């Protein structure tokens, strides 16, 4: 078996790609079920089709000398609608054709344990030479060597290619951020991305975002965290988003740690509450203009829920 020499310092990969982003009609969507992009010879980025699930999560497949790592398994369990196992096996087979080795392994792990990142785990249950990391916090910390001290770095070695791991439980108790030394990619899952962030534990979330070298635990830099209004990304459902856990104001000397006011219930920041009302009104108007009774009823139900 010829050993692959992974670079000691990060090398540049290819991010010249247009990601699939859905279509007006899911019925007429022509995008692949899973978009596959080759970042470099040993790294692939996958994205789920929005017509299959609106979350459209990204997944990462990274190859080392002795095993590969698949980070996250998407938002859909059914291989008929979301053929993740088949797609991964095809990529692995092509890679092994260029880099032959016996009994090559696969580790299936997750950036965190929310349903849109672990739904496809079952497709890999019977796959040979495969380890699926249980998304429970204690199992995740045990596998990556994180332990109970969240300031201690863990790692996973793929055979000459090491990814550093650090617990980042602000978004989810089992969340882990990975740094790939070979590419310089920082894989944060839902802890950091250019969009609306969901916070389960505000002090932990604040610590997750502190620069390296600082103590990662401690009081948050802001005295309060308010629950933002629901945006159009989650407007298609009449129930609260499962990620959207109630944020509480962190304890502060002047207020004794009272709960933050929820703008959907008439308190809190007036501008946030106004945006929430306008968002609901806009959705209702769109439904009325479309003369779609089902959509109109759904919009009314969401408005009623938000007033309770």
Looking at residues 278-300, what average pLDDT do you find? Answer: 51
Its sign, for the CA torsion 100, 101, 102, 103, is: negative
pLDDT tens digits for 150-201?
Answer: 778 999 999 999 999 999 999 999 999 999 999 999 999 999 988 899 999 9
pLDDT tens digits for 64-115?
Answer: 999 999 999 999 999 999 999 999 999 999 999 999 999 999 999 999 999 9
pTM (predicted TM-score):
0.70
The percent of residues above 90 in pLDDT, for the chain, comes to 59
Instruction: Find out whether 32 and 48 touch, Cβ atoms under 8 Å.
Output: no
Task: For residues 225 and 219, give the distance between their C-alpha atoms in angstroms, rounded to a whole number.
Answer: 12
Beta strand 105-109 pairing with 67-71: parallel
- Give the pLDDT score at 288: 54
Q: Where are the domains positioned within the chain?
A: 26-208, 232-248+263-307
CATH topology of domain 26-208: Metallo-beta-lactamase; Chain A (3.60.15)
pLDDT band at 251 (very low <50, low <70, confident <90, very high): very low
Instruction: Find out whether 164 and 154 touch, Cβ atoms under 8 Å.
Output: yes
Q: 26: which DSSP letter?
A: G
Buried b (16+ CB within 10 A) or exposed e, 110-127: bbbbbebbbbbbebbeee
pLDDT band at 270 (very low <50, low <70, confident <90, very high): low
- Give the pLDDT score at 244: 34
**Residue whose structure tokens are 């070979």:** 182
- Give the pLDDT score at 211: 63
- Give the pLDDT score at 234: 37
pLDDT tens digits for 206-236?
Answer: 888 876 544 344 333 333 333 233 333 333 3
């Amino acid at each position: 078996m010829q050993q692959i020499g992974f670079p000691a310092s990060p090398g540049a990969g290819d991010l010249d790609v247009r990601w699939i982003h859905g279509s007006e009609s899911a019925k007429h969507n022509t995008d692949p079920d899973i978009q596959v992009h080759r970042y470099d010879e040993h790294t692939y980025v996958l994205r789920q089709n929005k017509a299959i699930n609106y979350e459209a999560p990204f997944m990462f497949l990274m190859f080392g000398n002795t095993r590969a790592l698949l980070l996250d398994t998407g938002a859909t369990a059914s291989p008929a609608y979301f053929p993740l196992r088949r797609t991964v096996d095809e990529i692995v087979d092509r890679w092994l054709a260029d880099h032959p080795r016996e009994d090559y392994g696969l580790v299936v792990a997750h950036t965190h344990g929310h349903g849109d990142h672990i739904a496809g785990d079952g497709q890999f249950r019977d796959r040979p030479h495969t380890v699926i990391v249980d998304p429970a916090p204690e199992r995740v910390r045990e596998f990556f060597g994180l332990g109970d001290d969240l300031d201690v770095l863990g790692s996973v070695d793929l055979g000459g290619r090491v990814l550093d791991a650090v617990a980042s439980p602000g978004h989810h108790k089992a969340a882990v951020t990975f740094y790939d030394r070979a590419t310089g990619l920082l894989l944060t899952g839902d802890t950091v991305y250019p969009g609306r962030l969901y916070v389960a534990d505000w002090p932990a979330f604040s610590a997750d975002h502190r620069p390296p070298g600082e103590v990662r635990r401690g009081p948050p830099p802001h005295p309060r965290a308010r629950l933002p209004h629901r945006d159009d990304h989650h407007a298609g459902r009449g129930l609260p988003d499962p990620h959207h856990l109630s944020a509480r104001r962190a304890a502060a000397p002047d207020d004794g740690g009272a709960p933050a006011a929820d703008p959907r219930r008439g308190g809190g920041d007036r501008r946030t509450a106004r945006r929430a009302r306008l968002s609901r009104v806009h959705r209702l108007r769109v439904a009325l203009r479309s003369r779609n009774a089902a959509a109109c009823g759904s919009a009314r139900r969401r408005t009623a829920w938000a007033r309770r």
